[in-house]
Amino acid sequence: MLILSGGLDPVTPPSFGDEIKKTFSNSVHFVAPNVGHGTSHQGCGPKIVKQFIEKASIADLNGDCLKRLPRPTFYQPMVAKADKQKNTGDTK
């Protein structure tokens, strides 16, 4: 069993994956520390899933690439600054 977790996932955190791994002896759990939900769709996640499906085995799977995925970038819209000025008169 292949278990993938995102370190930033508040709904299904890596600790859930750790618990699942305890139940299945033939399993591997990879964590992408800087990813939220949907690890299998980000960075090298699809490649790992493809390899698992094609080989039907966890042997030789390597999830180290998931550790190198960057944190997502969040942008604050410029509108927020304009709204603050409008509502408070603050020009900073």
Q: How far apart are CA 38 and CA 42, in angstroms?
A: 7
Q: Is the pLDDT of residue 53 over 90?
A: yes
Per DSSP, the three-state class of 55 is: helix
State the Cα torsion 75-81-82-86 to the nearest 10°.
Answer: 150
User: φ, ψ for residue 23 (rounded to 5)?
Assistant: -80, -30
Owning domain of residue 21: 2-88
Q: Is the pLDDT of residue 32 over 80?
A: yes
How large is the average pLDDT for residues 21-48? 96
Quick one: pLDDT at residue 74?
78
- Sorting pLDDT into bands at 50, 70 and 90, what band is 72? confident
Q: Express each pLDDT in 6-22 by its tens digit.
A: 999 999 999 999 999 99
Domain count, the chain: 1
What does the mean pLDDT of the chain come to?
A: 90
